[in-house]
Amino acid sequence: MEHIGIDTQPNLKESEFAKTKTKQEQLYDLAGFSMEAVTAKLEKLKQVGVFEHLDKESQHDFLLWLGSSDSIKNLEKLDFTGKKILTVAGSGEFFQSFIDRGSKQVGVFDYSMFACFFNELKLIAARELSYQEYINFFKTIAERKVRTIIDIDEAVIVRLNPFLSSQARIFLKQIATPEYWKLLNPDFTESPISIRHIAVNHANDINFLASEKNYKIMQERLRHSNVNFRITNINSPDINAQNYDYVYISNISFGHQVEIATQLLNKGAKCVGFTFGGSIDLPIGGDYYLAVDTETGEIFSQRNNAYDTRHEKKHLRQWHIYMKTEIEHFLLRAHLLYTMVFA
């Protein structure tokens, strides 16, 4: 397997995470956000009442949530054999699932340095670790104690270190201390930085984690596939989108899906799929997905991944993939919703 690694190397130095910074500043640095950008986004979200039920610390935690995505279950139904895929790092298991479903070339991008480096770790882990080792390392198990987790994590990272890019090694070394591992505490499933963990309630959504047999199939496919990572600018993704058959950008943080989808379509993407999380992007509660009936072109919304009873499942088997010829009306409606919430 050819592993290109990180295309855009940040100037990461050992002293970057100064101990004089506050805990919240350290969190932002780890996730690749600036304090100014985070504060501005939080203020916009507060204005529409999204965070009325959350205390101040929880508001910041939600902004840095980088855990596994429940929308991954929709990828499990599709066949990507022979397709070139572009997806985001932040959701955790997307690139493995695309490989599991037949793709041999996956590009992974994100504007979060944290997300890209930990997905690089997941790539190497999926290639080198056994099924049980992978589960033990990444899956959230509330009964474990922090001290045990630190010991296991350090041992596994040392084992995987030789396969990581130099920048990933520097990054992981900086946070592989008891102080920083507390930020990754699996006893607290709402940890602000939990990309490392596959939440218990999402594990069954991921086909390659359902059994050791499935994992070995994915692992063998991964060894014969090409996966590369790119840290990019959120305002102007430097990505050759026309080189990919599908682009899937779910979970690239708050409210940016429409903007990024538009940019990637303008850069030549053939089709783009993404989701809106109602509890975050729209103040309506629950997870809502704007969907297209692939037979009629009708646009409608779904909640919690449940099929709308007005539509046959066969019409929706690719409901989260929006062809370029069909996406103009979809993006117009999605952008209006986005503008209404954040204007």
- Cα gap 36→265, rounded to integer Å: 29
The tens digit of pLDDT for each residue in 296-314 reads: 444 444 443 333 333 333 3
Q: Are 8 and 89 in contact (CB under 8 A)?
A: no
How many angstroms separate the CA atoms of 219 and 17, rounded? Answer: 34
Tell me the average pLDDT of the chain. Answer: 61
What pLDDT, on the 0 to 100 scale, is given for residue 106? 92
Output the pLDDT for position 104: 92
Average pLDDT over residues 240-258: 71
Predicted pLDDT of residue 321:
34
Strands (E) located in the chain: 3-6, 84-88, 105-110, 226-231, 246-248, 271-273, 288-292, 299-303, 322-323
**Where residue 89 falls among pLDDT bands split at 50, 70, 90?**
confident
Position 10 scores a pLDDT of 54
* pLDDT value of residue 324: 34
Whether 48 contacts 281, CB under 8 Å? no
Q: How far apart are CA 157 and CA 48, in angstroms?
A: 42
Q: Which residue has the tokens 């992974």?
A: 108
At 68 the pLDDT is 55
| pLDDT interval class at 240 (50, 70, 90) | confident
The pLDDT assigned to 205 comes to: 65
Q: Give the pLDDT band (50/70/90) at residue 276.
A: very low
Residue 176, classified by CB atoms within 10 Å of its CB into exposed (0-12), middle (13-18) or buried (19+), is: middle
* Bigger pLDDT: 170 vs 202: 170
What pLDDT, on a 0 to 100 scale, did the predictor assign at position 252? 64
Model pLDDT, residue 268: 77
* pLDDT per residue as tens digits for the range 116-156: 777 888 889 889 999 988 877 776 544 444 444 455 566 77
